[in-house]
């Protein structure tokens, strides 16, 4: 992450809160402490934190209620700090949408590992969409939105017509396409030339792909047409 990660420590026992703050500051996190549950909930709603360490037993609103109410509004990572090794508390916390929990007293190393894990999981979710569409065959990749083609990571320069022809072949991978089909699809119905133009452009593509990269992409099916396949 480029900027400092802000961790909100919600803990009413000053000794524990202070210990967490010193350790987390030392690890390079930015921290804030709140000991009252009701104010903690308000601050989570108003201030931009990246992760919440949430004690269960708090004056004002308790940790379980905070977790439940926060989850109705945001998916900020929450790690519950359970005072006792109480299975019910852990299960309840996770049911309410907490990302993880840790039992007090805990080793700082374990808490740090859980913090990193919760932050990583959240980043992964955020990065999932939107996935860019790409068309592949062997090590050839086409990115239709960017109008780019790469073979083994090397970009290939294609003219507009070569690109359209390749895209049509890729979208119909493994299907044998007749010259007439290609002509209609890539050149349009009103194209008045003869089907030789297809053969000519297939040759251009082969020179830039098959020949240049010493790999067979485009197959000729005699008497029928062309296909691109694995
Ligand atoms: Ca407490």
Centroid of ligand 1 to alpha carbon of 7 (angstroms):
18
Task: For the chain, give percent helix, strand, coil, nearest 5.
Answer: 45, 20, 35
Nearest-10 Cα torsion for 20, 24, 25, 27: 150
Centroid of ligand 1 to alpha carbon of 75 (angstroms):
23
Tell me the pLDDT tens digit for each residue of 105-116.
889 999 999 999
Centroid of ligand 1 to alpha carbon of 28 (angstroms):
25
pTM of the model as a whole: 0.54
Strand partners of residue 220 = 226
Strand partners of residue 178 = 225
Centroid of ligand 1 to alpha carbon of 221 (angstroms):
75
Residues whose CB falls within 8 Å of the CB of residue 27, separated by 6 or more in sequence, listed in order:
112
Tell me the pLDDT tens digit for each residue of 89-105.
667 777 788 888 888 88
Tell me the pLDDT tens digit for each residue of 202-222.
999 999 999 999 999 999 988
Q: What is the pLDDT of residue 124?
A: 58
Centroid of ligand 1 to alpha carbon of 62 (angstroms):
9
User: Rounded to the nearest 5°, which phi and psi values hold at 203?
Assistant: -65, -40
Centroid of ligand 1 to alpha carbon of 59 (angstroms):
8
Question: Can you tell me the distance from the alpha carbon of 141 to that of 87, in angstroms, rounded to the nearest whole number?
Answer: 50
Is residue 81 a contact partner of residue 67, using CB atoms and an 8 Å limit?
no
Tell me the pLDDT tens digit for each residue of 17-54.
999 999 999 999 999 999 999 999 999 988 889 999 99
Query: CA distances (Å), 110 to each of 15, 114, 150, in order?
Result: 19, 6, 44
Tell me the pLDDT tens digit for each residue of 117-167.
998 877 655 544 345 678 889 989 998 877 889 998 899 999 989 999 999
Centroid of ligand 1 to alpha carbon of 54 (angstroms):
9
Q: How many whole angstroms from its chain centre is CA 100? A: 21
Write out the two tokens for 93: 């916390």
Centroid of ligand 1 to alpha carbon of 11 (angstroms):
6
């Amino acid at each position: 992450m480029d900027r400092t990660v802000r961790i909100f420590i919600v803990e009413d026992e000053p000794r524990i809160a202070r210990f967490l703050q010193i350790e987390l500051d030392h690890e390079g996190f930015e921290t804030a402490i709140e000991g009252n549950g009701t104010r903690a909930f308000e601050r989570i709603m108003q201030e931009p934190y990246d992760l919440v360490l949430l004690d269960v037993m708090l004056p004002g609103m308790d940790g379980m209620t905070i977790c439940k109410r926060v989850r109705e509004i945001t998916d900020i990572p929450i790690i519950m700090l359970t005072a006792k090794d109480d299975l019910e508390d852990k299960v309840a916390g996770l049911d309410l949408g907490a990302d993880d929990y840790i039992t007090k007293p805990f080793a700082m190393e374990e808490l740090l590992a859980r913090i990193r894990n919760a932050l990583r999981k959240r980043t992964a979710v955020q990065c999932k969409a939107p996935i860019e569409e790409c068309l592949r065959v062997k090590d050839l990749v086409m990115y239709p939105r960017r109008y780019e083609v790469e073979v083994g990571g090397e970009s290939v320069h294609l003219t507009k017509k070569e690109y359209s022809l390749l895209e049509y072949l890729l979208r119909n991978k493994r299907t044998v396409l007749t010259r007439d089909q290609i002509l209609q699809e890539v050149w349009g119905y009103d194209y008045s030339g003869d089907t030789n133009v297809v053969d000519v452009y297939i040759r251009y593509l082969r020179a830039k792909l098959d020949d240049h990269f010493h790999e067979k992409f485009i197959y000729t099916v005699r008497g029928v047409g062309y296909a691109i396949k694995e």
